[in-house]
A and B are shown apart, each in its own frame.
Chain A
Amino acid sequence: MDALIPLFVAIPLISAFLIVILGKLVKGFHRFLAPLTLLVLLILAVYEFTGLGKISITYAMGGWTSEGGVPVGIYLVLDGFSVLMLCIINLIGLIALFYSLSYITKYTAESNYFALFCLIIAGMNGVVLSGDLFNLFVFLEVSVISSYALVAFGVGKTELEASFKYQVLGGLASMLILLAIGLIYWKTKTLNIADVRNVLDAGYSKPFYLFVQVLLIAGFGLKAAIIPFHAWLPDAHSSAPSPISAMLSGVLIKAVGIYVLIRLFFNMFVFSYEIALVLTSLGAISMVVGSLLAIKQWDLKRLLAYSSISQVGYVVMAFGMGILLLLRGNNEAAAVLAIGGAIYHMINHAVFKGLLFLNAGAIEHRLNTRNLKEMGGLSKAMPVTSTTSFMASMSISGIPPFNGFFSKLIIVIAAINGRFYLLATLAVVVSIITLAYFLKFQRFAFFNKSTGKALDKIKEVPFAMSFSMIFLAVLCLALSLLALPSVRDSILSPAIDVLMQSDLYFTSTLGL
């Protein structure tokens, strides 16, 4: 089982390069190899997930283990939180890739698309697995640089502009992150995440590390598009091909943004009240402002992109609340609820936002427009798209029995238990605003009268696309089961434990 860990990075890399070499020679090679790769990765991730339980596995690359308690090589760490992320990444990746098989036919250079897709997956798997700060940075660059190329894949004016904006802000973020990593290395003389924690436990100067943490919040906040850093997201996510938008919004901003932020703040830095307050308020602000900005959008994919900002706000806010509650120390049950709710909402958001972008792609595929005013009356012409998008919309607005309801409920309960009454109110109000703009989407796209376009010519999308959408819609319902205590214990609890007992990570990684 240990030997399988590096395969999460190696397999997608190999298939990416094979696709570049053979994709032009053998016809249809990439259409076969890329889904196969993702399928193998998903099976591997699920296999690791079932076998892992509450333990964590450390994999020292090249056999370079520790020398006198100090790790010398690059570590890959697989624990409850990272294996859960691996499952989401590869699942959404597989669905988006399967959807692409039909969708991508309207673009040229198909083989490049699939190669870049494999690279983005390799980068994200690497980020999630890495136990080493610089290695994490390298994998982060692998995945975001391939996403720059994929955003610009349409090579039109808006796509190139969006990609340029994304590159400038992404480059800025990478610079801030690299600076922070350099500062950490300067003070602690180590890059291993667990070892940094070990050094910090022996004593540290607080102002210096506050500065480092602020740099990291700005850097990863740019990648995760929390509100003051969100300017690139609506352009980039709306101009990319739809399966890529689903990947970016569903998985990328979580894997390279929130996951790393949370991993570092829980398992590397010692908690500090100021940072927890900053995280909570940034989360709350992006939750509210993101939803308010989404209401007046008429471009469907921009509306979804703004709603991503708002939903990511929920996750960040809940994590921040979790840290505040842990610092307070007298209400651990509420902290477990907040952190669990955040992880749960992160999974749910990956599923329903992925589905919504696939729906938007299906509409764009048939109507060639993203403007809500030019749609209408599609519920008869495209029943599968209509039904699945209705389920996703209800899910994201928190209507029972869909998964979004339960994760939002858990976050609200955690906020009330922890006496964050303002945040609880905001979470409920934003949920209602979310319902408002998703009802707007439903009405103008599917139930309004048609706006002149000949409806009888519009058909339902091909099998690969509709199957992917149906699969994710079923998942929207099935994930509600995670709210049941017994299911939650086996799936979410290992991840929550890793974050709750923040010393566990370094003791198990360093083998102390």
Chain B
Amino acid sequence: MEGMSTIVKRVTPLLAGLIFLYGIYIILHGHLTPGGGFAGGAIIAGAFILLILAFGSSALNLKKEVAGSSNTESIALLMVVVLALMALLFGTKVFFFNYLPKGEPGELLSAGVIPLYNIFIGIEVAGAILTIFLALVIFKEESSK
């Protein structure tokens, strides 16, 4: 697939950066405001998808991208399970126990492990959505050959 016109190619990088930052904001404030790992991850994936649509898939090595995004996704999921399992070692030794200090409610650094879960879930969702999108692109390329 070829990319779109020069105007689009100029504007999307500016937009994508903002969208990416907004996704990070949603993820990091997941324990304070509406949203969280899933919503933020979807927004981050949106930033990548926008760039791919603007510049076209010919600018990418698709197979390599898919391997990368699916590996990122698996590592993030693994980290979530490991974080949950680490709770078996601390405190009351219960699966999914919140073992980090809770802090002040309303502060950015509070709520113990929950921000960490949010971050990894955000990476996971972004990776998964990007993988699905790239798989669809690869399917389109291969079927049009």
Binding site for B on A (CB under 8 A): 3, 5-6, 10, 13-14, 17-18, 20-21, 24, 59-63
CB distance from B136 to the nearest CB of A (A): 16
- Bound CA span A14–B95, Å: 14
Contact across chains for A3 and B88 when beta carbons are under 8 A apart: yes
Instruction: Kindly provide the distance from the CB of B37 to the nearest chain A CB, expressed in whole angstroms.
Output: 15
Give the residues in chain A near B74, CB-CB below 8 Å: 17, 20-21
On chain A, the residues within 8 Å of B95 by CB distance are 5-6, 10, 59, 61-62
Question: Quick check: is B85 within 8 A (CB to CB) of the other chain?
Answer: yes
Report the minimal beta-carbon distance from A298 to chain B, rounded to whole angstroms.
34
Cβ of B110 under 8 Å from chain A: no
29 sample A-B contacts, Cβ–Cβ < 8 Å, listed by A number: A3-B88, A3-B93, A6-B84, A6-B88, A6-B95, A6-B96, A10-B85, A10-B95, A14-B78, A14-B81, A14-B82, A17-B74, A17-B78, A17-B81, A20-B70, A21-B74, A21-B75, A21-B78, A24-B67, A59-B95, A61-B94, A61-B95, A62-B94, A62-B95, A62-B96, A62-B97, A62-B98, A63-B91, A63-B92
When distances are taken between beta carbons in the complex, the residues of chain A under 8 Å from B82 are: 14
Per-residue A-contact encoding for B89-123, CB less than 8 Å = 1, 0 else: 00111111110000000000000000000000000
- B77 contacts partner chain A, Cβ-Cβ < 8 Å: yes
CB of A494, distance to nearest CB on chain B (Å): 24
Question: Chain B interface: which size bin?
Answer: 20 to 34
Q: Which 4 A-B pairs have the closest CB atoms?
A: A6-B95, A62-B96, A17-B78, A20-B74
A63 and B97 within 8 A (CB):
yes
Q: Please give, as numbers and ranges, the residues of chain B lying within 8 Å of A62 by CB-CB distance.
A: 87, 94-98
Contact with A along B57-75 (1 / 0, CB 8 A): 0000000000100110011
Tell which of A3, A5, A10, A21 touches B81, judged by Cβ atoms closer than 8 Å: A10
Question: A10-B85, A61-B94, A62-B94 are known contacts; what are 10 more A-B pairs with Cβ within 8 Å?
Answer: A6-B96, A13-B77, A13-B81, A20-B70, A20-B74, A59-B95, A61-B96, A62-B87, A62-B98, A63-B91
B94 touches A21 (CB 8 A): no
Residues on the B chain within 8 Å of A24, using CB: 67
Q: How far is the CB of A64 from chain B (nearest CB, A)?
A: 9
B14 to chain A, nearest CB (A): 34
Q: Which residues of A contact B98 (CB under 8 A)?
A: 62-63
Residue of B nearest to A13 (CB): B81
Q: How far is the CA of A10 from the CA of B96 in the complex (A)?
A: 11
CB distance from B139 to the nearest CB of A (A): 12
**A5–B95 alpha-carbon span in the complex (Å):** 9
Residue of B at shortest CB range from A76?
B95
Hey, which chain B residues are within 8 Å of A18, CB to CB? Answer: 78
Q: Say yes or no: A21 contacts B71, CB within 8 Å.
A: yes
CA–CA, A61 and B94, complex, Å: 7
Roughly how many angstroms separate A375 CA and B71 CA in the complex, as a whole number?
A: 44
> How far is A60 from B92 in the complex, measured between Cα atoms in Å?
12
- Chain B 11-23 against A: per-residue CB contact (8 Å), 1 yes, 0 no? 0000000000000
